[in-house]
Structure 1
Amino acid sequence: MRRFVLAVDRLAAVIARLAQGLAAAACLGCLALVSVAVAARYFFDRPQAWSDEVVGWLVVATVMFAVAEAQRRGEHIGVDWLVDRWTGARRNAVLGLGALSVAVVCAVLIYEGVETVRFTVMMGVKSNALPDVPLWAIQALVPIGAGLMLVVALAQLLRWAAGLPPVETEAGGPGRHE
């Protein structure tokens, strides 16, 4: 059982790190696009109306691809004063409850995100600024990001259920592999 849990944990770490790379690329894309848009507007008097919408999409991509790694490292929203002050079984129980809460929220985000995408596909909604881009492609980032974070939360729950201690970050918090 221990080997299985550790293998799942390693797989979740790889997935989260790959997604983090996509988040970094989206963030760099934001920087590049905003820089080009500012130059076009102020140096060439040619504002690009579509760039604001695309930057918004890239911000969503950045967040949704980064949340899994934040959860894995224990840097996601948590009740730090409980985790930091408690040790042993109480600390592990709080971490397990936190991972379970994240998993439930992820399941809701996946379900609602898929429903939103289905509705948008049914209605045929397209981008205002770029009419060739269907909005469902952008909205799909929400259930994808929630699915990535769900993988991490389930790996954390497996670890907890197997009685293994949570992985620790360099700062001493739950999250990163030893």
Structure 2
Amino acid sequence: MRKIAVKALLWLDRLEKITVVSLCGSIVLLVFMGVLSRYLFHYSIAWSEELARFMFLWGALFGAASACKTGQHGGIPLLVDKFPPWLQRATEVFIGVCMLTFIGYLAWQAYGTTMRAMASGQSSMTTGIPVWVINFGMFLSFCLAIFRTIQGFLIGSYRIDKPVVE
């Protein structure tokens, strides 16, 4: 059972990296194509900017979820380093709980927004992509961030005295 879990986590790591790298690479190509089209052929591809914006949003959120595994979040280690060890550990737990609460709230809001967009049938202006698809990507990334935060806390990434960075 443990072997299956390890393989599943490695698969998830690869999938996250492939997703973020693919989105970033696609953004570069899409924006380059839009600029080239506009200035070289005097034809504007209207949907390229909007699609690049959606890809940027997803790439940033999935990248942030991936960073939660290694504890790469905003923190003040210089201040926490001055605390005694027991208070450092309490701070680590407090930060983890605060992060989970905040990300959970964002996931809940993204879920509500997704359901409302699905009910309304709204679609994006130039690409025609249903808005619920874009919002569902945000919901998935927040759920992944919750999972990765818990995982990072369990493997010790949030340890101030011994951070785990890959």
Q: CA deviation at 1:13?
A: 6.8
Distance 1:13 1:108, change over 3 A: farther
Amino acid of the structure 2 residue aligned with 1:141: G
Match of 1:39 among 31, 36, 40: 36
Q: 1:139 is matched with which residue?
A: 135
The CA deviation string for residues 87-140 of structure 1, in whole angstroms up to 9 with x for no partner, is 632222222211111111111111110100110111110010022x20110111
Taking the TM superposition and a 5 Å limit, the aligned residue runs for 1:20-169 are: 20-86=17-83, 88-131=85-128, 133-157=129-153, 159=154, 166-167=156-157
Amino acid of the structure 2 residue aligned with 1:146: F
Amino acid of the structure 2 residue aligned with 1:81: L
CA distance in structure 1 between the aligned counterparts of 2:147 and 2:66, rounded to whole angstroms = 11
CA distance in structure 2 between the aligned counterparts of 1:58 and 1:126, rounded to whole angstroms = 16
Aligned length: 163
The CA deviation string for residues 44-81 of structure 1, in whole angstroms up to 9 with x for no partner, is 10111111100100011111111122122222122232
TM-score (norm 1): 0.78
Amino acid of the structure 2 residue aligned with 1:176: V
Q: CA deviation at 1:11?
A: 6.0
Structure 1 residue runs of 5 or longer lacking an equivalent are none
Distance 1:93 1:17, change over 3 A: farther
Contact persistence 1:83–1:95 (CA under 8 A): no
CA distance in structure 1 between the aligned counterparts of 2:107 and 2:39, rounded to whole angstroms = 41
CA distance in structure 2 between the aligned counterparts of 1:139 and 1:83, rounded to whole angstroms = 36
- Which stretch has the larger CA shift, 14-23 or 113-122? 14-23
Q: CA deviation at 1:17?
A: 5.0
1:176 aligns with 2:165: yes
Structure 2 residue runs of 5 or longer lacking an equivalent are none
Distance 1:84 1:13, change over 3 A: farther
Contact persistence 2:92–2:158 (CA under 8 A): no
- Which stretch has the larger CA shift, 43-52 or 70-79? 70-79
CA distance in structure 2 between the aligned counterparts of 1:156 and 1:10, rounded to whole angstroms = 17
